[in-house]
Amino acid sequence: MAQRDIRALSSQQIEDLLAGRGMMLALPAELNGWPGPMHVLEHATALDLSPAQRRDTEALMAAHRAEARSLGARLVEEEREMDAAFRERRITAEDITDRTNRIGTLQAALRAEHLRTHLLQTALLSPEQVTRYAELRGYTAATPSSGHRHRH
């Protein structure tokens, strides 16, 4: 860890944040029946998405990815700056409070973005499609979940 560019973040975490990946931030939504756009698009045929649903889901995914990437980039930069302040021995108690508050706010905004996207996606689907989504993802007794790996 001491050799990392940013000590508090692995290279995978940095990559995920910059790419706008979910990093399991939306699990409360996903596992409680609120589909996300990435997986809806993966299962578009099985969900029998209408052209309008596909278009709206793609637009939602694009907007979400842009916002998540923006927030992720800001978060990475804040972590980089805190790491540098510690490394260069220029950190103060006040800096710690200010920096961790900014980082915490960005983390909360990023998680809210991921969760909110699941609400918006669910509104684009019929109740039957939401049920089918759960089956396809292995969240119901109708579909065995062995071997399911959640990549969100």
91-101 per-position pLDDT tens digit:
999 999 999 99
How much is the pTM? 0.88
Q: How far is 57 from 119, CA to CA, in rounded Å? A: 12
Token match 């900014």: residue?
Answer: 102
pLDDT the model gives residue 143: 43
Q: Flag residues of the chain having pLDDT under 50.
A: 143-152
HSE value, Cβ hemisphere, 13 Å, CA-based, for 19: 10
pLDDT the model gives residue 48: 98
pLDDT the model gives residue 103: 98
Tokens of 55: 């278009």
pLDDT the model gives residue 5: 87
